[in-house]
Amino acid sequence: MRDVSDSLPGSDLIREGLRDLANGVESISALLVLVGSPRLRDLGLDVPDPFSSAVHPEHRLYDLLAEEDADGAHSRYNALIRRLVSFERAAECVND
């Protein structure tokens, strides 16, 4: 699976995150892709990691969300993780 199919849930976020990572942009979608990178790589996606940071992408993602909206960071984080997992599960079904 080299391309991100539009038919998969969350494909927009994954595609945007991959593009941002390829360009070295630290964005919410890029950090989300890094969170899911082990599983996404197993699915055949090329997930670059341009950031050499000791901070785990999960923590950096949460921090970035909190910078935008401290009160809503937890809910947004959980919603993004659910979208990532939905994408991964659907992609696994397509690959089977």
Q: Write out pLDDT tens, residues 47-66.
A: 988 886 657 999 999 999 99
The model carries a pTM of 0.91
CA dist., res. 35 & res. 72, Å (int): 19
Torsion sign over Cα 67, 69, 72, 76: negative
For the chain, the domains span 11-95
pLDDT tens for each residue of 4-59: 888 899 999 999 999 999 999 999 999 999 999 999 999 999 998 888 665 799 99
